[in-house]
Amino acid sequence: MADWELLLTDASIATMCAGSVPYGTVENAALAIADGRIAWLGPQSTIPAGKAQVTRSMAGRWLTPALIDCHTHLAFAGNRAAEFEKRLAGASYEDIAREGGGIMSTVRATRAACEDSLLQQTCRRLRALRRDGVATVEIKSGYGLDLETELKLLRVARAASRATGIPVSATFLGAHAIPAEYRGKSNDYIELVCSEMLPAVAENHLADAVDAYCETIAFSSSQVARVFETASSLGLPVKLHADQLSDSGGAELAASFSALSADHLEYTSLAGVRALAGAGTVAVLLPGAFLTLRETRQPPIQSLRDHAVSIAIATDCNPGTSPICSLRTSMSLATSLFRLTPEECLAGVTRNAAAALGLSADRGTLEIGKRADIAVWDIDHPNELSYWMGLNELSGLLVGGKELPN
């Protein structure tokens, strides 16, 4: 006989399980939670006999998997609003990076910031995401670029999760940019990343994955390969900022290491798409960066669909290319800028975002056995989640079956 902690009744459920039913919808549904997991869900008329300690009517609201932001750079100090103004006046992102601005100006501010102030700033951004129904967030390091500050950022990512209750996946992005003290010596910096930073990160269990930036203004394919070989030898999965500003073969490189995801992809070729499909690597699209950089080249969306590559959407929240702390806004941008369907967008921040973090076994769909990470929405249909911008229809957010505090 069932023994449930919580039974949610009178709901419409978008399970987001893949299949022929749009959104994996179950109407007039109920969902039961035991031990923080989904113990049962289905049409309300078929609830098995059992007892629930608490029963709550959802009064027709929609339940979806809690949203997942699978690509962010939330841990940093300062901002780059002045640089944003320069770009509006005509300077390019690459020009600013070459002049020592861009990522390097955030690195200077982040190195100078104390751990507590970084934690406060990171928590503020996490809480902004939470208001959009986000209950798993990936946070990258990458604004330290020295051992001490990279470890500091990863500790902040872990601490921000404890402080807010929001589950965080931490990613080591030491190979984000060449720090000023290594200018002209990028191989030496990669050596530092591989021989000192990565072992320290792994030993202290500070990261769940390793990322790198493969681009003409950052690191070459062979340098990234060295980072990925080291990560793999330490048992850490990899992901890649790939083909954002040029086709550097990033998608192929990510696929050759069975990366969890390849992200950005505006300049990815057909061969790159085929490689992603072959490796089961998730394509993470970042419409906020596309918008902010006024990019005109679209990621190869139709080709990704044709090759059945899973597509995720994320904010890429960062002070340079995507000052966006709203995953719902990113979903809406993905419809308008990339013509993704609202269903593709919702899958992109639930099922496919979970896959991009290697968390599919536990999160990303509403299914019996998965953790009860659930968003409750005051909407008539889940297509509204990619339609409105700035209207907060969230009426509840559960993590492991418990309401996540504000």
Contact residues for ligand NIG (CB under 6 A)?
73, 102-103, 106, 213, 241, 244, 289, 316, 318-322
Tell me which stretch binds Fe ion (CB under 5 A): 24-32, 181-189, 274-282, 313-321: 313-321
In the DSSP assignment, the letter for residue 404 is: P
Q: What angle do CA 352, 221, 274 make, to 5 degrees?
A: 45
> How is residue 79 written in tokens?
């901002």
Cβ-based nearer residue to ligand NIG, 318 or 335? 318
Residue 332 binds which of Fe ion, ligand NIG, none (CB < 5-8 A, kind-dependent): none
Q: Which is nearer to ligand NIG, 140 or 371 (CB)?
A: 140
DSSP SS3 for 377: strand
Residue nearest to ligand NIG (CB): 320
What is the smallest separation between the CB atom of 186 and ligand NIG, expressed in angstroms? 15
Cα–Cα distance between 294 and 194 in angstroms, integer? 34
Q: To the nearest whole angstrom, how small is the minimum distance from the Cβ of residue 142 to ligand NIG? A: 7
Smallest separation, CB 279 to ligand NIG (Å) = 21
Partner in contact with 106, chosen from ligand NIG, Fe ion, none, beta carbon below 5 to 8 Å by kind:
ligand NIG
CB of 69 to ligand NIG, least distance (A): 13
Question: Cβ closer to ligand NIG: 46 or 296?
Answer: 296
φ, ψ of residue 380 to 5 degrees: the values are -95, -25
Nearer to ligand NIG, 261 or 322 (CB): 322
DSSP character string of 20-48: SSGGGEEEEEEEEEETTEEEEEEEGGGPP
- The answer to whether residues 154 and 201 touch, using CB atoms and an 8 Å cutoff, is yes
Asked if residue 314 lies in contact with residue 341, where contact means CB atoms within 8 angstroms, the answer is: no
Q: Residue 118's closest CA among 151, 83, 71, 166?
A: 151
**Beta-strand relationship, 394-399 and 374-377:** antiparallel
Q: How far is the CB of 257 from ligand NIG (least distance, A)?
A: 19
Q: Which of 83, 316, 373, 393 forms a contact with Fe ion (CB under 5 A)? A: 316
Cβ within 8 Å of residue 30, ≥6 positions away:
7, 8, 9, 10, 11, 40, 41, 42, 43, 44, 47
When CB distances are held under 5 to 8 angstroms depending on the partner's kind, the choice from ligand NIG, Fe ion, none that residue 320 binds is ligand NIG
Residue 261 to residue 367: CA distance in whole angstroms:
23
For position 252 contacting Fe ion by CB under 5 A, the verdict is no
Contact (Cβ atoms closer than 8 angstroms) between residue 50 and residue 336? no
CB of 241 to ligand NIG, least distance (A): 5
Minimum CB distance to Fe ion smaller for 41 or for 126: 126
Of the two residues 318 and 335, which places its CB atom closer to Fe ion in the complex?
Answer: 318
**How far apart are the C-alpha atoms of 253 and 144, rounded to whole Å?**
25
CB-wise, 286 or 399, nearer to ligand NIG?
A: 286
**Residues near 83 by Cβ (< 8 Å), separated by ≥ 6?**
96, 101, 102, 105, 320
Q: Minimal distance in Å, beta carbon 377 to ligand NIG?
A: 29
Smallest gap from residue 210 Cβ to ligand NIG (A): 15
Tell me the two tokens of residue 163.
């402080």
CB 239 within 8 A of CB 255: no
Least Cβ distance, residue 105 to ligand NIG (angstroms): 9
- Exposed / middle / buried, residue 227 (Cβ in 10 Å: 0-12, 13-18, 19+): buried
Of 322 and 352, which has the nearer Cβ to ligand NIG? 322
Identify what 319 binds: ligand NIG, Fe ion, none; CB under 5 to 8 Å per kind.
Answer: ligand NIG
Residues 57-96: x where in contact with Fe ion by CB under 5 A, - otherwise, as a string: ----------------------------------------
Contact in structure between 379 and 62 (CB atoms under 8 Å): yes
Q: Which is nearer to ligand NIG, 106 or 171 (CB)?
A: 106
Which residues share a beta bridge with 312? 284
83 vs 393, which CB is nearer to ligand NIG? 83
Binding range to Fe ion, per CB under 5 A, among 1-9, 124-132, 316-324, 376-384 = 316-324
Compute the least distance from the CB of residue 318 to ligand NIG, in Å: 4
What residue has token string 């062979």? 222
Q: Please give the residue ranges that form the binding site for Fe ion (CB under 5 A).
A: 316
